Amino acid sequence: MTIQQLKYIVALDEERHFARAAEVCMVTQPGLTIQLKNLEEEIGIKIFDRTKVPLTPTLLGKEIITRAKKILREADDIRDFVINEKNTLEGELKLGVISTLSPYLIPLFIKAMSEAAPKVHFIIKEANTGQLMQDLETGTLDVAIMATPTGNPNLIEHPVFQEPFVAYLHSKHPMASESFYEIQARDKSELLLLQSEFCYNAQLLDICGIKNPKKIKEQFTYDISSIETLKNLVRAQLGFAIIPELSILNEKESHLFKPFKEPKPVREISLVVSDTFSKKLLLEKMNEAIWNCLPNPLKQNFAFRKIRWNDSPYFVKSVSGL
């Protein structure tokens, strides 16, 4: 028994004529007749007395048609509910953000979203990429702002912007006076990585062309989990860092960071949801709010090279060991 079959018997009851009912349902008359026959055979009851003119429901057929009308009304209510849910701009939304983006984007995003959707209560969680993907799949989170593509078939990605990476240098670095940064052999051995940020680290290793991170010089063991810590280590001449551009837009020491030449290495930042997420209008508002709150340099067109992470051997090996 299908919704379409129920629509057919309701139309037949209203029109009391096969040809007219078929026209109302926008189906051929033989097609409607076959579907009615299939339904009657499935339930073992004749719904219409075909010997009478006009077509007349049987006694049990009348009760079935009454129930069919109720089911169709409820189906319409469900459809209306879904449409309303997709367009609602109120309620609670659990939002996850990657740790390397959250400190710089979220203060701007909160201000923009408070104006775009004042009735939505956001619960914001900062975490690494692996945790965000797991939370999206289990329903712990509704939306995540993260680097993509993830390669996860159960998640839907809505790209928002491309964020360039920049080199962060100390004042005595050989390229400190240059306008652009080019990879230096010595820097590869001093590249600073973040603890448990395997997605982010995989992108840095790709930019530097490092296939084996174990070759990076380890003068000390340090559980680095903050880009701000990386900056301070660089200032102290204890290493070399590649960081996202949003993290330096308010930097006073502008001589410490250098952009790459075009095509610039970038990470794609997207709104990511599970394949069951339904609040499409809210997602559109979030996309618009993020774009509008971005500093102008990130909105300009430039040649770029998207740095992936999900297919990195380093990333696959790192997460498989967890």
Can you tell me the distance from the alpha carbon of 46 to that of 39, in angstroms, rounded to the nearest whole number?
9
pLDDT band at 214 (very low <50, low <70, confident <90, very high): low
Instruction: Give yes or no for residue 178 having a pLDDT over 70.
Output: yes
Most confident by average pLDDT, 109-118, 139-148, 191-200: 139-148
Can you tell me the distance from the alpha carbon of 202 to that of 101, in angstroms, rounded to the nearest whole number?
16
Confidence at residue 217, expressed as pLDDT on a 0 to 100 scale: 52
Distances (CA, A) of 17 to 39, 55, 63, 152, 198: 18, 6, 19, 52, 67
**Correct CATH for 3-86 of 1.20.120.530, 1.10.10.10, 1.10.645.10, 3.90.420.10:** 1.10.10.10
User: Which residues, at least 6 apart from 160, have a Cβ–Cβ distance to it below 8 Å?
Assistant: 145, 269, 270, 271, 287, 290, 291
pLDDT band at 115 (very low <50, low <70, confident <90, very high): confident
Can you tell me the distance from the alpha carbon of 315 to that of 189, in angstroms, rounded to the nearest whole number?
19
Which of 118-122, 132-136, 139-143, 222-226 comes out lowest in average pLDDT? Answer: 222-226
Contact criterion met (CB below 8 Å) for 40 and 26 = no
Tally DSSP H helices, then E strands, for the chain: 12, 10
pLDDT digits (tens, 9 = 90+) for 256-268: 899 999 999 999 9
User: Which residues, at least 6 apart from 226, have a Cβ–Cβ distance to it below 8 Å?
Assistant: 99, 194
pLDDT band at 317 (very low <50, low <70, confident <90, very high): confident
pLDDT digits (tens, 9 = 90+) for 126-165: 999 999 999 999 899 999 999 999 999 999 999 999 999 9
Identify the bridge partners of residue 272 per DSSP, sorted by sequence position. Answer: 144, 157
The CATH class for the domain spanning 164-265 reads alpha beta
Six-digit token string for 271: 């709104």
How confident is the model over 280-295, as a mean pLDDT? 92
How confident is the model over 214-230, as a mean pLDDT? 69
Six-digit token string for 24: 């109302």
Contact criterion met (CB below 8 Å) for 273 and 160 = no
The average confidence (pLDDT) of the chain is 88
| Better pLDDT: 177 or 53 | 177
Can you tell me the distance from the alpha carbon of 134 to that of 137, in angstroms, rounded to the nearest whole number?
5
pLDDT digits (tens, 9 = 90+) for 68-93: 998 988 887 787 676 666 667 778 88
Q: Range(s) for CATH 1.10.10.10 in the chain?
A: 3-86
Six-digit token string for 230: 């990386």
Six-digit token string for 169: 């240098």
**Correct CATH for 90-162+267-303 of 3.40.47.10, 2.115.10.20, 3.30.70.360, 3.40.190.10:** 3.40.190.10
Six-digit token string for 85: 């849910």
Percent of the chain exceeding pLDDT 70 equals 93
pLDDT band at 220 (very low <50, low <70, confident <90, very high): low
User: Which residues, at least 6 apart from 281, have a Cβ–Cβ distance to it below 8 Å?
Assistant: 86, 87, 88, 89
User: SS3 for 315?
Assistant: helix
Q: Nearest-CA neighbor of 127 among 138, 141, 109, 111? A: 141
Q: Range(s) for CATH 3.40.190.10 in the chain?
A: 90-162+267-303, 164-265
pLDDT band at 318 (very low <50, low <70, confident <90, very high): confident
pTM, full prediction: 0.74
Can you tell me the distance from the alpha carbon of 115 to that of 121, in angstroms, rounded to the nearest whole number?
12
Can you tell me the distance from the alpha carbon of 237 to that of 38, in angstroms, rounded to the nearest whole number?
79
Confidence at residue 84, expressed as pLDDT on a 0 to 100 scale: 63
Can you tell me the distance from the alpha carbon of 46 to that of 301, in angstroms, rounded to the nearest whole number?
67
pLDDT band at 299 (very low <50, low <70, confident <90, very high): very high
Can you tell me the distance from the alpha carbon of 241 to that of 227, in angstroms, rounded to the nearest whole number?
9
User: Which residues, at least 6 apart from 175, have a Cβ–Cβ distance to it below 8 Å?
Assistant: 167, 169, 181, 182, 184, 258
Which of 148-157, 192-201, 249-258 comes out lowest in average pLDDT? Answer: 249-258
How confident is the model over 200-223, as a mean pLDDT? 74
